[in-house]
């Protein structure tokens, strides 16, 4: 009887400890970790897709790896980095929840002799970032702006602007990229901004300062949150007249917010048609594109991004210098970077870009031709 109770107690302890792992994934069975990966949250499809692609690369290496999620908290992120440092990591790959707040965490890693690779989001205000693996965020924004501009005819087209989180440096790069294309079309009267006094105030300037970008983003931020995007879109359409609607052009910063905003515009009887952008090629948004509910999405192949990041980590651990092709200034230093190409996906090329490339299965969608 005592032995049975002891066994049961051990089982309870094992399950309790397993339940405290907080979304970590480890390929290490050796009690050590060579590469630590910290991603911002497991509650958004984008990061789960990244996790899957990372793991597909990781399993083909001889290195031990652990993936931790910070669940939208800089405090959790700091704890995750400290946990990985304690496990002896040689390389940290981190996609920061807040680019500025993450500086302290990567400085701790650097002090411990760890090579730091910023993944997808640049960490700002520190010289502790060694490398940056990213998609060309300005080019992503330019692709979204170009899609709207290419589909606009005539004058006075209503333009609604939305942005990502002000804590994410990429939000600034995406918006600047879109503004590069849209601003000349605003200046010549093709578009008229309907939902941002801050953007209207600087509509004569193609190059915006960081402070000007911050002011606009602060006004039209979605914080990458579906519900916040929905609420803002509802408020904006309520605040304008029927004459400010009709055929609308909408800069949405990513797929999740695009779906929320698109649903609001589709439900407004004064909106006759809308063109809306997105990025990440999330499954739900690909279906929206097929169904004509979302106009486009920028495909950023996370398989390539994950491969580039892991390849860079392996190169570092082999004592070699990783290959880079650009630099990004993080307000402290110019960080060496490797950029991954992007593809604009519309209803016309969904199959070629996402199915034929093996990124998704055709059975994942309905109505695909």
State the pLDDT confidence band at 44, using cuts at 50, 70 and 90. Answer: confident
Whether residue 185 sits in one domain with residue 88: no
Q: Cα torsion for 281, 282, 285, 286, to the nearest 10°?
A: 60
What's the rounded mean pLDDT across residues 66-91? 96
Question: Do residues 90 and 148 both lie within one domain?
Answer: no
Q: In this predicted structure, what is the pLDDT of residue 302? A: 85
Among the ranges given (14-18, 78-82, 88-92, 226-230), the one the predictor scored with the smallest mean pLDDT: 14-18
Q: Is the pLDDT of residue 19 over 60?
A: no
Looking at residue 24, its pLDDT comes to 53
Residue that the structure tokens 């707040």 belong to? 101
Query: Domain check: are 124 and 142 in the same one?
Result: no
Provide the pLDDT for residue 156. Answer: 98
Indicate whether 12 belongs to any domain: no
pLDDT attached to residue 274: 98
CA-based end-to-end distance of the chain: 65
Domain shared by 28 and 93, yes or no: yes
pLDDT, mean over the chain: 91
Please check whether residue 124 lies inside any domain of the structure. Answer: yes
Residues 72 and 169 in one domain: no
Above pLDDT 90, what percent of the chain? 81
State the CATH number of the domain containing residue 58: 3.40.50.2300
What pLDDT is attached to residue 53? 77
pLDDT digits 0-9 by tens, 199-218: 999 999 999 999 999 999 99
- Neighbouring-strand partners of residue 187: none
The answer on 74 and 41 residing in a single domain is: yes
Residues 256, 332: one domain?
no
Same-domain check for residues 234 and 296: yes
User: For the chain, what percent of residues have pLDDT higher than 70?
Assistant: 92
Same domain, 296 and 306: no
| 306 lies in the same domain as 296 | no
**What average pLDDT does this structure show over 344-350?**
97
Phi-psi label, residue 281: left if phi above 0, alpha if psi -120 to 50, beta otherwise: left
Q: Which of these, 85, 74, 93, 79, lies nearest to 111 by C-alpha position?
A: 85
Which letter does DSSP use for residue 223 in this model? T
Range of the domain at 306: 22-129+302-340
Note the pLDDT tens digit of each residue in 247-265: 999 999 999 999 999 999 9
- Total structural domains in the chain? 2
Q: Taking a C-beta distance cutoff of 8 angstroms, is the pair 339, 325 a contact?
A: yes
150 plus 244 within the same structural domain: yes
| pLDDT of 2 strictly over 70 | no
Least confident of 43-57, 102-116, 226-240: 43-57
The confidence band for 26, taking pLDDT boundaries of 50, 70 and 90, is: low
**Is 128 in contact with 107 (CB distance < 8 Å)?**
yes
Residue 214 located in a structural domain? yes
Residue 118: which H helix or E strand, with range?
A: strand 115-119
**What's the pTM?**
0.79
Indicate whether 45 belongs to any domain: yes
Residue 184 and residue 100 in one domain: no
pLDDT at residue 186 above 60? yes
pLDDT at residue 331 is higher than 70: yes
Q: Using CA atoms, how far apart are residues 331 and 277, in angstroms rounded to an integer?
A: 29
Mean pLDDT across 127-155: 97
Mapped onto helix, strand or coil, the DSSP state of residue 242 is: helix
Mean pLDDT confidence for 294-318: 92
Does 295 fall in a domain? Answer: yes
| 8 part of a folded domain | no
pLDDT at 6 over 90: no
Pair of tokens at residue 356: 């034929």
Look at residue 59 in the predicted model and tell me its pLDDT: 78
Q: What pLDDT is stored for residue 30 in this prediction?
A: 53
For position 21, what pLDDT does the model report?
A: 37
């Amino acid at each position: 009887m005592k032995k049975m109770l002891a066994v049961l107690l051990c089982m309870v302890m094992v399950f309790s400890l397993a339940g405290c792992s907080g979304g970590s994934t480890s390929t290490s069975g050796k009690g050590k970790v060579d590469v630590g990966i910290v991603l911002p949250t497991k509650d958004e499809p984008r990061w789960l897709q990244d996790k899957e692609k990372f793991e597909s690369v990781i399993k083909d290496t001889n290195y031990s790896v652990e993936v931790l999620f910070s669940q939208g908290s800089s405090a959790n992120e700091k704890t995750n980095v400290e946990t990985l440092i304690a496990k002896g990591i040689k390389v940290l790959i981190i996609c920061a929840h807040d680019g500025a707040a993450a500086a302290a965490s990567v400085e701790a890693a650097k002090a411990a002799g760890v090579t730091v690779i910023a993944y997808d989001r640049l960490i700002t205000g520190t010289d502790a970032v060694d490398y940056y693996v990213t998609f060309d965020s300005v080019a992503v924004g330019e692709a979204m702006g170009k899609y709207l501009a290419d589909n606009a005819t005539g004058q006075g087209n209503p333009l609604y602007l939305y942005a990502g989180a002000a804590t994410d440096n990429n939000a600034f790069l995406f918006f600047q990229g879109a503004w590069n294309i849209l601003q000349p079309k605003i200046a010549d009267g093709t578009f008229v901004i309907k939902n941002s006094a801050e953007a209207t105030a600087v509509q004569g300037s193609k190059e915006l300062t960081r402070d000007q970008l911050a002011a606009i983003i602060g006004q039209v931020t979605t914080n990458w949150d579906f519900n916040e995007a929905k609420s803002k879109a509802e408020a904006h359409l309520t605040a304008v007249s029927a004459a400010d609607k009709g055929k609308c052009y909408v800069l949405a910063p990513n797929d999740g917010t695009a779906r929320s905003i698109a649903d609001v515009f589709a439900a407004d009887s004064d909106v006759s048609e809308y063109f809306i952008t997105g990025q990440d090629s999330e499954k739900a948004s690909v279906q929206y594109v097929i169904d004509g509910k979302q106009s486009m999405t920028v495909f950023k192949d996370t398989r390539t991004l994950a491969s580039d990041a892991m390849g860079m980590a392996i190169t570092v651990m082999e004592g070699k210098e990783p290959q880079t092709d650009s630099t990004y200034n993080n307000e402290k230093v110019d960080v060496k970077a490797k950029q991954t190409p992007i593809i604009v996906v519309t209803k016309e090329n969904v199959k070629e870009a996402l199915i034929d490339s093996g990124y998704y299965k055709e059975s994942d969608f309905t109505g695909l031709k």
